[in-house]
Structure 1
Amino acid sequence: MGEYSDSITVHVPPDRLFAYLSDVEHLPSYMPRLTSVHPHEGDQVTVTAHIEPADAPEQDVTSEAYLHVVEEGKSLEWGAPGPHDYRGRLHVDEGEDAGSCRLTVELHTGHTREQVENGLKEALSGIKQAVEKAER
């Protein structure tokens, strides 16, 4: 199992970014392979993603997951059952400049380092683009 972490500066106020990320309906706007999200009671969600595995044909997969919003400290925790023990946490902190914030994502997964690091950078970039565009 591996532990991964990366950060990015986002040019919106921390409360705005946290509100955007706390709404699970926004997930497909910044997670490129995610095609749908259906929240259920409590922290449970059903997600569908379009994947292109190296050893199988491309396909849509649906999974149950959880997403827990922690208002105090502006963080989210999530995870999905399965062989990769996938779970993560993100934190939204004040930025160095007024009107900006720092987003840090931490992941725990059994996927390969290259897959995770590329996906993490892609997700951070997607979040930054989606929320800054929504702010305009």
Structure 2
Amino acid sequence: MGEYTGRIEIARPPAEVFAFLADLRNMPRYLPTVTRVGPQGHHDQHDDVAVEGEADGHAYRNDGWLKAEPEARRMRWGSHTMQDYGGSLSVTEASGGSAVELKLSLTPKPEVAERMQQEHGSIDHGMRISVERTLGAIKAACEQGGEVVRDSANDEDPADSRPFGSSATLNPDI
């Protein structure tokens, strides 16, 4: 299982950034593969969620859990079906606003790993790019109301975080 981390600073107050990220309705604004997220019930330790979306031309739905800890400005999540998948996100104070730190633990499915190997030279490099793109999309959503500026020097969409976004949304294709 791979462990991937990233950090980005956002020019908004930590409480505001955490409130935005902890609201499930906002998830499609920074995870481009997600079309819908909804609560499925509550347990003592976490909330069950259902995630729907599309990745690589395939619709998916998966069930998982999410635990928001507002007092610590931290969220943790995982999948009910993929035991080697989980993540956390924390929002802290930083000069000029907030810092968001993202941690992801997962083993990409073989076909995704092969694509990352071909496109990025290694799975780790592909995952690092995906984490950076996701953090960039979070920053854009928090600072610019969700608009992502395309990089004309790079033909890729900076919000294209499919490898991370798919797995973060419990996509069974990962």
Asked if Structure 1 and Structure 2 have the same fold, meaning a TM-score greater than 0.5 normalized by the shorter chain, the answer is yes
Residue 48 (structure 1) aligned to one of 29, 49, 52: 52
Secondary structure of 1:41's counterpart equals: strand
Higher helix share: 2
Q: What aligned pairs does 1:2-13 form with structure 2 within 5 A after superposition?
A: 2-13=2-13
Q: Which blocks of at least 5 consecutive residues in structure 1 are unaligned?
A: 53-57
1:110 equivalent to 2:111? Answer no
- CA displacement at 1:130 relative to structure 2: 0.7
- CA displacement at 1:7 relative to structure 2: 0.2
Runs of 4+ with deviation above 6 angstroms = none
Secondary structure of 1:32's counterpart equals: coil
Q: Which blocks of at least 5 consecutive residues in structure 2 are unaligned?
A: 109-122, 147-174
Q: What aligned pairs does 1:78-117 form with structure 2 within 5 A after superposition?
A: 78-83=77-82, 85-97=84-96, 100-111=97-108, 112-117=123-128
Q: Percent identity?
A: 28
Distance 1:130 1:74 in 2: 18
- CA displacement at 1:34 relative to structure 2: 0.9
Is 1:84–1:110's contact at 8 Å kept on the other side of the alignment? no
- CA displacement at 1:84 relative to structure 2: 6.6
Distance 2:11 2:54 in 1: 30
RMSD: 1.7
Q: 1:116 to 1:81 in 2, by over 3 A?
A: farther
Q: 1:116 to 1:84 in 2, by over 3 A?
A: farther
Residues 66-85 of structure 1: CA distance to partner in whole angstroms, max 9, x if unpaired?
A: 11101222100011134472
Distance 1:132 1:109 in 2: 29
Distance 1:31 1:77 in 2: 16
Report the equivalent of 1:14: 14
- CA displacement at 1:65 relative to structure 2: 1.2
Secondary structure of 1:12's counterpart equals: coil
Structure with bigger RCO (C-alpha 8 Å, 6+ apart): 1
Higher strand share: 1
Distance 2:124 2:80 in 1: 20
Q: 1:48 to 1:114 in 2, by over 3 A?
A: farther
Aligned pair count reads 128
Secondary structure of 2:41's counterpart equals: coil
